[in-house]
Amino acid sequence: MKAAIVGWAHTPFGKHDAETVESLIVRVAREALEHAEIGAEDIDEIVLGHFNGGFSAQDFTAGLVLQASDLFRFKPATRVENACATGSAAVQQALKTIESGRARRVLVVGVEQMTTTPGPKIGETLLKASYLPEDGDTPAGFAGVFGKIAAAYFQRWGDQSDALAGIAAKNHANGVENPYAQMRKDLGFDFCRAESEKNPFVAGPLKRTDCSLVSDGAAALVIADMDAAATAPRAVGFRATAHAQDFLPMSKRDILRFEGCAVAWQRALAEAGITLDDLSFVETHDCFTIAELIEYEAMGLVPEGQGARAVAEGWTRKDGRLPVNPSGGLKAKGHPIGATGVSMHVLSAMQLVGEAGGIQVKDARLGGIFNMGGAAVANYVSVLERVR
Q: What is the pLDDT of residue 61?
A: 98
Q: What is the pLDDT of residue 215?
A: 98
pLDDT by residue for the chain (388 residues), tens only, comes to: 999 999 999 999 999 999 999 999 999 999 999 999 999 999 999 999 999 999 999 999 999 999 999 999 999 999 999 999 999 999 999 999 999 999 999 999 999 999 999 999 999 999 999 999 999 999 999 999 999 999 999 999 999 999 999 999 999 999 999 999 999 999 999 999 999 999 999 999 999 999 999 999 999 999 999 999 999 999 999 999 999 999 999 999 999 999 999 999 999 999 999 999 999 999 999 999 999 999 999 999 999 999 999 999 999 999 999 999 999 999 999 999 999 999 999 999 999 999 999 999 999 999 999 999 999 999 999 999 999 8
307-315 long-range contacts, CB within 8 A, separation 24+: 307/160, 307/163, 308/160, 308/162, 308/163, 311/162, 311/163, 311/166, 311/167, 311/170, 312/162, 312/163, 312/166
64 secondary structure, DSSP code = G
Q: What is the pLDDT of residue 84?
A: 98
Q: What is the pLDDT of residue 155?
A: 98
Domains of the chain (ranges, CATH numbers): 3-114+214-229 (3.40.47.10)
Beta bridge partners of 257: none
Rounded to the nearest 10 degrees, what angle do helices 141-157 and 119-127 cross at? Answer: 60
Distance from the Cα of residue 57 to its chain's centroid: 24
Q: What is the pLDDT of residue 297?
A: 98
